Amino acid sequence: MRLPRLKEVRELHGWSQKNLAEAAGVSRDSISNYETGHREAYPATARKLADALGVEIADLLQAPARPKEVAPSSPDEWAREVGARLHGMRDAEWDAHARALDPDEIEEEVRAFLDEAKMLHAAHAADKWQRPEQKERRIELFRSLRELRAHRLADLAGIAAEKKNEALLRQVMEALLEEAHS
């Protein structure tokens, strides 16, 4: 069975091929072959991959039925989307992006990070919604998102300091403190 959306769905989760391989119990080489179309997955393997990603097999075959503008249906779905946004930019890309922001855009970015932190906390508190076998993977995803968000906020603090914008620096530092205590 061909899985044309496997790579897209995996990247939306912010996962590497290795992460997915470990979660699904499939080799990394197999995942690479499925993503490039060099090999078709057995239905049982497609089920393992879909379960590891928390989606239906159909989501790996075709575009999802829900429009993109619809809000995520669960905290886990939201966390995967945030992960894709945060992990989708390499450090050099982030640095170039952040340095090009004006003070208002930096404030907007800080607000988005704080909103994400609140949602992440709510999602983490909703463990009862999660299947027990996925709990460790979920905790690791949240930890990774939190660390990356803190790193990005620290970068914004450095940029605010370079721009000698004390009010903005204070706001970013408060966000960093809030992040550290969440």
Q: What is the pLDDT of residues 58-88, one digit of tens each?
A: 888 875 444 444 445 555 565 566 655 555 6
Whether 79 and 145 map to the same domain: the answer is: yes
Which structural domain, as residue segments, surrounds residue 150? 75-181
89 shares a domain with 47:
no
Residue 26, pLDDT score: 94
37 and 107 in a single domain? The answer is no
CA 8 to chain centre: 13
pTM over 0.85: no
pLDDT reported for residue 29: 94
> Does pLDDT of 27 surpass 90?
yes
Mean pLDDT for the stretch of residues 132-144: 69
Q: In this structure, are 83 and 155 located in the same domain? A: yes
CATH number, position 37: 1.10.260.40
Task: Over range 163-179, report the average pLDDT.
Answer: 82
67 in a structural domain: no
Whole-angstrom distance, CA of residue 46 vs CA of residue 36 = 15
Q: What is the pLDDT of residue 30?
A: 93
Residues 101 and 44 in one domain: no
35 part of a folded domain: yes
Give the residue from 18, 38, 61 where a domain finishes: 61
CA dist., res. 152 & res. 102, Å (int): 16
Euclidean distance between CA atoms 177 and 100, whole angstroms: 24
CB contact at 8 A, 19 and 92: no
Residue 43: which H helix or E strand, with range?
helix 43-53
Name the residue with higher pLDDT: 90 or 58. Answer: 58
Alpha carbon distance, N-terminus to C-terminus of the chain: 43
Least confident of 44-53, 80-89, 92-101, 138-147: 80-89
